[in-house]
């Protein structure tokens, strides 16, 4: 109430304008903390929860592995080499390559490596989701692949350690229709941008997938490194999820259909991260725009069903694609500007403006920085043996992690209003699994 006592409310219009803005700001703060309390809770409990384990499989199941690639002839050999070295019977998995709108020798490279190659040329339906849908439906039409029980999805820049299929087979044998794995980064040492992205995936692994798995809640798939059972894909008629974040869209539909997605931390794979801020901006712009698309398509369904079906997962996924936190950041700047106008007009004392308004905003940003820094530090400590860079770089990346995450604010600002098209992200790292 100090603010109100130091404002000139002789003008009723000014009073009501300020009162409305103040109430909106307070409501948004409360809503955001309610929406994201579970993330604070998971961040703390993840330090004490043990990873979920799965019993030894009673049967070795037969899988298809689908790789969607576009002009990635230089990355394919390293991925296939890692897949061929799996600690799992080679005759029990078939590798498919979908060369999507390629202008290089990706398809030829795949054939030379003994893969089943599908080529797709479509300039109107662009993106991995269309390539996956195309490949899956071709596989389903071919009777020689009728015995494949589930399908893994990888990108050409991925690398897969030898125990991956062995570990994921435990999950499938335990009866789970969809499961994801631990996503690590093969080029942590490339730049602070790649390091920041790498930490963000470690945070996702520890503070979301790990915690949800321990509480047996279910989670979502992210990027690649996941499998989907044949009957689930047949239920959906392939892969008809074509927002810019098709992985999250699929996860939302699974939640609505009560298909639990589980997580296996003992199955790890490596992903290449963008090295430059520009490349990272383009990638995250696609993700943010995809979130907006999913928000429009699924948010109301998830909110309603989270209460009707008493589903904690649906509520958390509703929060995951909700854009209210982004809107709050923009509103915060607007609120600061209005306060500055009130101060300039003489309706607010300099003492109140600087000691309460400015100090509050500076304090908020310091608080947010520290929260993100602490999360990054916890993840780096927890997974320090998985991050193969020097101790100095680990510390530097953690310090820069809040800045990396802050870049989402201008990216979301663009994503809210701009129609975003799929853009290829450069993948130039040709290290093999032994080097990672």
In this predicted structure, the answer to whether residue 304 has a pLDDT above a threshold of 90 is no
| pLDDT for res 194 | 96
Share above pLDDT 70 across residues of the chain, in percent, rounded to a whole number: 97
**pLDDT (mean) for 110-129:** 94
Of the pLDDT bands very low, low, confident and very high (cuts 50, 70, 90), residue 97 is very high
Q: What's the mean pLDDT when you consider all of the chain?
A: 91
CATH topology of domain 1-52+61-427: Spore Coat Polysaccharide Biosynthesis Protein SpsA; Chain A (3.90.550)
> How many residues in the chain?
436
Contacts of 324 by beta carbon, 8 Å cutoff, 6+ apart:
28, 31, 32, 35
Taking only the tens place, the pLDDT of each residue in 181-196 is 999 999 999 999 999 9
Q: 């607010």: which residue's tokens? A: 348
**Residue (of 428, 396, 410) closest to 198 by Cα position:** 396
Please determine, for residue 46, whether its predicted confidence score (pLDDT) is greater than 90: no
Residue 5 pLDDT grade (very low, low, confident, very high; cuts 50, 70, 90): low
Report pLDDT for 69: 95
With cut-offs at 50, 70 and 90, classify the pLDDT of residue 134. Answer: very high
Starting at the edge strand found earlier in the chain, the sheet holding 63-69 runs 116-120, 93-100, 63-69, 150-155, 226-229, 178-185, 261-271
- In tens, the pLDDT along 315-339 reads 889 888 888 888 888 888 888 888 8
Extract the tokens encoding 123: 């300039």
Q: Are strands 63-69 and 93-100 parallel, antiparallel or unpaired?
A: parallel
Residue 255's pLDDT band, with cuts at 50, 70 and 90, is very high
Structure tokens at 137: 């439906």
- State the pLDDT at residue 425: 81
pLDDT of residue 4: 57
| pTM of this structure | 0.91
Q: What is the mean pLDDT of residues 342-352?
A: 80
Is pLDDT above 70 for 106? yes
Q: State residue 39's pLDDT score.
A: 84
Q: Is the pLDDT of residue 430 over 60?
A: yes
Residue 331 C-beta-side C-alpha neighbours within 13 Å: 17
Position 8 scores a pLDDT of 57
Q: 205-254 pLDDT, tens per residue?
A: 999 999 999 999 999 999 999 999 999 999 999 999 999 999 999 999 99
Confidence at residue 30, expressed as pLDDT on a 0 to 100 scale: 87
Q: What is d(CA 6, CA 112) in angstroms, rounded to the nearest whole number?
A: 77
Q: How far is CA 393 from CA 195, 272, 383, in A?
A: 9, 17, 14
What pLDDT does residue 326 have?
82
For the stretch 20-31, pLDDT in tens is: 888 888 888 888
Measuring CA to CA, how many Å separate 419 from each of 198, 278, 299? 27, 18, 20
Instruction: Give pLDDT, residue 10.
Output: 56
- What is residue 7's predicted lDDT score, i.e. its pLDDT? 58
pLDDT in the model for residue 377: 94
């Amino acid at each position: 109430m100090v603010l109100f006592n130091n404002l000139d409310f002789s003008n009723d219009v000014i009073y009501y304008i300020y009162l409305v803005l103040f109430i909106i700001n307070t409501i948004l703060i409360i809503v955001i903390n309610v929406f994201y309390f579970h993330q604070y809770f998971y961040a703390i409990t993840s330090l004490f929860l043990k990873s979920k384990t799965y019993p030894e499989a009673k049967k070795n199941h037969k899988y298809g592995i689908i790789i969607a690639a576009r002009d990635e002839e230089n990355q394919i050999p390293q991925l296939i080499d890692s897949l061929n070295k799996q600690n799992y019977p080679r005759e029990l998995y078939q590798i498919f390559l979908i060369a999507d709108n390629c202008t290089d020798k990706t398809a030829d490279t795949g054939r030379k490596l003994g893969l089943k190659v599908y080529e797709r040329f479509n300039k109107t339906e662009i993106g991995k989701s269309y390539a996956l849908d195309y490949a899956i439906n071709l596989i389903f039409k071919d009777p020689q692949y009728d015995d494949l029980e589930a399908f893994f999805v990888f990108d050409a820049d991925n690398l897969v350690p030898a125990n991956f299929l062995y570990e994921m087979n435990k999950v499938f044998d335990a009866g789970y229709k969809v499961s994801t794995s631990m996503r690590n980064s093969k080029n942590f040492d490339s730049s602070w941008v790649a390091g920041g992205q790498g930490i963000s995936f470690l945070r996702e692994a520890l503070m979301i997938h790990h915690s949800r798995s321990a509480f047996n809640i279910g989670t979502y798939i992210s990027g690649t490194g996941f499998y989907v059972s044949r009957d689930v894909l047949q239920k959906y008629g392939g892969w008809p999820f074509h927002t810019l974040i098709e992985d999250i869209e699929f996860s939302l539909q699974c939640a609505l259909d009560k298909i639990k997605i589980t997580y296996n931390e003992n199955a790890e794979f490596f992903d290449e991260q963008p090295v430059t801020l520009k490349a990272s901006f383009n990638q995250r712009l696609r993700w943010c725009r995809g979130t907006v698309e999913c928000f429009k398509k699924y948010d109301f369904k998830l909110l309603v069903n989270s209460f009707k079906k008493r589903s904690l997962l649906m509520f958390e996924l509703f929060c995951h694609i909700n854009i209210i936190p982004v809107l709050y950041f923009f509103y915060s700047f607007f609120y600061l500007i209005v306060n500055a106008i009130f101060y300039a007009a003489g309706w607010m004392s300099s003492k109140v403006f600087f000691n309460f308004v400015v100090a509050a905003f500076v304090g908020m940003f310091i608080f947010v920085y520290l929260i993100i820094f602490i999360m990054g530090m916890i993840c780096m400590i927890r997974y320090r043996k998985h991050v193969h860079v020097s101790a100095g770089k680990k510390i530097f990346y953690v310090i820069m992690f809040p800045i990396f995450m802050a870049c989402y604010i201008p990216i979301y600002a663009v994503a809210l209003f701009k129609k975003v098209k799929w853009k290829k992200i450069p993948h130039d790292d040709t290290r093999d699994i032994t080097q990672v």
